[in-house]
Amino acid sequence: MASQEIESLAAALARLPGLGPRSARRAVLWLVKRRETSLVQLLEALAAVRETLVECATCGNVDTRDPCGLCADSRRDPRALCVVEDVADLWALDRAKLFTGRYHVLGGRLSALDGVRPEDLSIGRLLDRVRAGGIDEVVLAMNATLEGQTTAHYIAERLEGLPVRITQLAHGLPVGGELDYLDEGTLAQALRARRPVA
């Protein structure tokens, strides 16, 4: 039986995405053994996050300033807007350094199961940004899940009639993927998105 303090720290860690009670306990033990190094670093990083992080009122990114670094960067193309479900998706795309436009974070995906409705996401703010003009292309970069695709479809409908080109990420074979390891959905998508051999 661990002490109350250790139990409550493990319980708090177990609520983090991807961590269950077992790995939370392991993390607590790991931190206790490194209380002067890793634990201090973690405390300082958490305190810094608590004091400085804000949500960008324009795109929904999380940064130390509002507007965020991406929105404020004049080298980025204001004519291309990439719509993602979550900040983690924005960061993943931005790490790839392939998209040079701006972003819009929805804050989730439509879900009948979880009761997430259009008004729960920042779709209204997205429409306002597009209506304000100056955007040529909206890239719908939703996850290749049923809910992600439902969300993309809904947004595409809402954007209809506005003077923008609507594009979507292609889904298909992962780089390095072998055909016989893929699920049928991925294979079907890849086959549908086939293109002429150059």
What is the phi/psi pair of residue 187, to 5°?
A: -60, -45
Range in contact with Zn ion (rule: CB under 5 A) among 65-73, 133-141, 178-186, 188-196: 65-73
Q: Does 68 bind Zn ion (CB under 5 A)?
A: yes
Taking CA atoms, 99 is separated from 18, 55, 78, 85, in Å, by: 28, 21, 12, 16
Using alpha carbons only, give the angle 32, 35, 39 rounded to the nearest 5 degrees. Answer: 100
For residue 21, say if its preceding peptide bond is cis, omega within 30 degrees of 0. no
The residue (of 13 and 59) whose beta carbon lies closer to Zn ion is 59
Q: Which amino acid is at 69?
A: G
Q: Which of 13, 24, 58, 151 binds Zn ion (CB under 5 A)?
A: 58
Provide, rounded to whole angstroms, the least separation between the CB of residue 86 and Zn ion. 14
Site for Zn ion in 138-177 (CB under 5 A): none
Q: Which of 13, 61, 129, 141 binds Zn ion (CB under 5 A)?
A: 61
The answer to the question of residue 56 lying near Zn ion (CB under 5 A) is yes
Contact partners, residue 160, CB within 8 Å, separation at least 6: none
Over the Cα atoms of the chain, what is R_g?
21
59, 82, 139, 152: which one contacts Zn ion (CB under 5 A)? Answer: 59
CB of 58 to Zn ion, least distance (A): 5
Is residue 126 within 8 A of residue 83, CB to CB? The reply is: yes
Size of the site for Zn ion (CB under 5 A): 6
Is residue 71 near Zn ion by the rule CB under 5 A? yes
Confirm or reject binding of residue 122 to Zn ion (CB under 5 A). no
